[in-house]
Structure 1
Amino acid sequence: MASKEHTGVTLLLNSVSEILTQFDVAVLDQYGVLHNGVEAYPNADSALRVLANAGVSMVVVSNSGKRADFNRQRIASRGLTADLITSVVTSGEILWEDFAQETVLSGPGPWKLLSINGAAGDAEAWRAELTSLIFVEEVSEADAVVLMGLPDGDSFDEFTPMLRAAYQRRLPVICSNPDRRSPAPGQFVRSPGNVAAMYEDMGGTVLWYGKPYPRIYEAVRSQFPEVSRDRFLMVGDSVEHDVQGAQGAGFRSLFVRNGIHLSDFEDIPDTEITTVIDSLSTQYEVRPPDYSIAEFG
């Protein structure tokens, strides 16, 4: 069936099954679509089965600083049928691959990195067998700062001294999780994208890995070279990252409303949904998404 041109009006759906003929590859965000960080959304696994039964290939694309295998295991641990998923692509995996190809930083390795992580051991687990990287404890020793995750907390002020020291040395900051906030049960947690943005505001150089930047979408498309761009459907809950990234890649987009934008849609009549979507699209300077759904299902 031929793809429909986007009319500029978002089509509201009750189920992803309504548009199965419109795409061949579903590109699925992880947090805010499949699970909330702790547990799967109620209809997410059944939606995976609907897509699999229709012969749709599924790629999970996540702004996670961790590797792809770790995230596949995390998806399974949330009660989702991970075996239905064709592949997992993470910003952390793409960064690892680029370091392996020596395309991230100029000059020969090994490179000394100051890493910021959510938990002890995350950086070593990410590096694995990549011997060209050495982790250091001080900005004065580093060739670059890598933002993979953030420890729990409410403020970003604690990172200001480190960023100022990095800027004084004109170090690049590599951000492998561009998210500004991430969903968690009943709340949102701080994410590395804010710290990277602080560095840009200082005038520093940030190397961004993940959505909405092109590198991660091209990694997805390279797995299906025979599929035209408009036969990919990006399913995500972030207008800034998922919708914007999909449009930049030439993919269609399905905006899920119960993720990070949930509060924007609470207590409004159905007749106002597209108005709010249009407002968010204007805010993030993107076209309205092709489709929208209350939750992935």
Structure 2
Amino acid sequence: MTKLISSLTDIAADYDALFVDLWGCVHNGIEAYTEACEALVAYRNTGGYVVLVTNSPRPWRSVETQIEGFGVPRAAFDAIATSGDSARMAMFIGAVGSKVYFIGTETETQFLEPMDIVPDIAHVHRVPLAEAEGIVCTGPEDAMADPSVYRADFLYAKQKGLKLLCANPDIVVDRGETREWCAGALAQLYTEMGGESLYFGKPHPPIYDLARRRLSKTADLEDPRILCIGDGIHTDIQGGMGEGLDTLFITGGLAAKEFGEDPNAPDPQMLEGWLETQGMNPTYSISFLR
């Protein structure tokens, strides 16, 4: 049974480091959550470490610039681990071949740019689908369009035996009050059609390995006690549980409507019932990070 808490300070002393989701936890895709940022700054001021662990397909430096624009203070975190960086490392060692069909917005094509820490072994080139050895997906070109618009391309790709590298396993995110499709929805469709999708973000192990590497460069901790925080039950919470780590579920995020009318006061019985249907048992739950 999850334990409802009212503040991060209720449990902060039990952990050396936090792996914290961004979207829906620290910001809403438009602006930072002030209380969440203040809580992270306060935690770091007590000697704790914060790694922002995000399913963003962007490189970490790009995410850092983005969240600065949202108003997230630099004092709120020590490092960033992105699904994009984890997936890019796999791409550059040939996970989906050297000729790739890219699905995403033009602003996300930086995903294909070489990484300093990984030799460009695969010499990745963007090509039309007919010439591709694999697919790289950072998200739909139109985040509001139903993923089924890719069905024809995916049928062709499946018949060619192409693998799809998914840079962001999230299915949806809320940008302010607007819900948008993510790369995970496309990868899910491709898998349902019989294709093979490769995942590197939460809840899959590669991004947690990257997060630990980023933490080790910041903190000299032999066996850190880590708490995973986020609003994605099948990304943040499932991933943390899969790593054997404690978790803190943000009820006021993606699933807020499941727990009553007031997102600031989730109904405990509704929460427990919903968690049972999801097959998840977060260590703690809180309405919003604060």
Q: Do these two structures clear the TM 0.5 threshold for a shared fold by scoring above it?
A: yes
Q: Over residues 159-208 of structure 1, what are the superposed CA-to-partner deviations in whole Å (9 max), with x where a residue is unaligned? A: 11111010010100111111111011112111111111111111111111
**RMSD of aligned residue pairs (Cα, Å):** 2.0
* Counterpart selection for 1:255 from 249, 268, 277: 249
Question: What is the TM-score of this pair, normalised by structure 2?
Answer: 0.90
Give distance in 2, aligned partners of 1:209 and 1:26: 20
Structure 2 counterpart of 1:149: 139
Aligned residues: 279
- Structure 1 stretches lacking a partner, 5+ long: 1-8
- Equivalent of 1:202 in 193, 203, 222: 193
- Output aligned runs, 1:39-188, within 5 Å: 39-100=31-92, 102=93, 104-105=95-96, 111-117=98-104, 119-123=105-109, 125-129=110-114, 131=120, 132-136=123-127, 138-150=128-140, 151-188=142-179
Q: What is the alpha-carbon distance in structure 2 between the residues aligned to residue 236 and residue 175 of structure 1? A: 20
Change (3 A) 1:191 1:99: closer
C-alpha distance in structure 2 between counterparts of 1:174 and 1:99, whole Å? 8
The CA deviation at 1:221 is 2.3
Tell me if structure 2 keeps the 8 A contact 1:24–1:227: no
Identity %: 27
1:160 match: secondary structure: helix
What are the within-5 Å matches in structure 2 for residues 224-243 of structure 1?
A: 224=216, 226-228=221-223, 231-243=225-237
Instruction: Give the TM-score taking structure 1 as reference length.
Output: 0.88
Distance 2:88 2:263 in 1: 45
Instruction: Provide runs of 4+ in structure 1 moved above 3 Å.
Output: 222-229, 268-272
Aligned residue type for 2:60:
A
CA distance in 1, matches of 2:254, 2:222: 30
Alignment match, 1:282: 276
Match of 1:6 in 2: none
Contact 2:41 2:77 in 1 (8 A): no
Aligned AA (2:50): M
The answer to whether the 8 A contact 1:115-1:135 is kept is yes
String of CA shifts for 1:85-124, please: whole Å, max 9, x gaps.
1110001001122334x1624xxx6x0111111x21421x
> Which residue, out of 24, 48, 65, partners 2:16?
24
The 2-side partners of 1:11 and 1:248 are apart by 19
Corresponding residue for residue 267 of structure 1: 261
Partner Cα separation in structure 1 for residue 236 and residue 43 of structure 2: 19
Cα contact 1:44–1:296 (8 A) shared by 2: yes
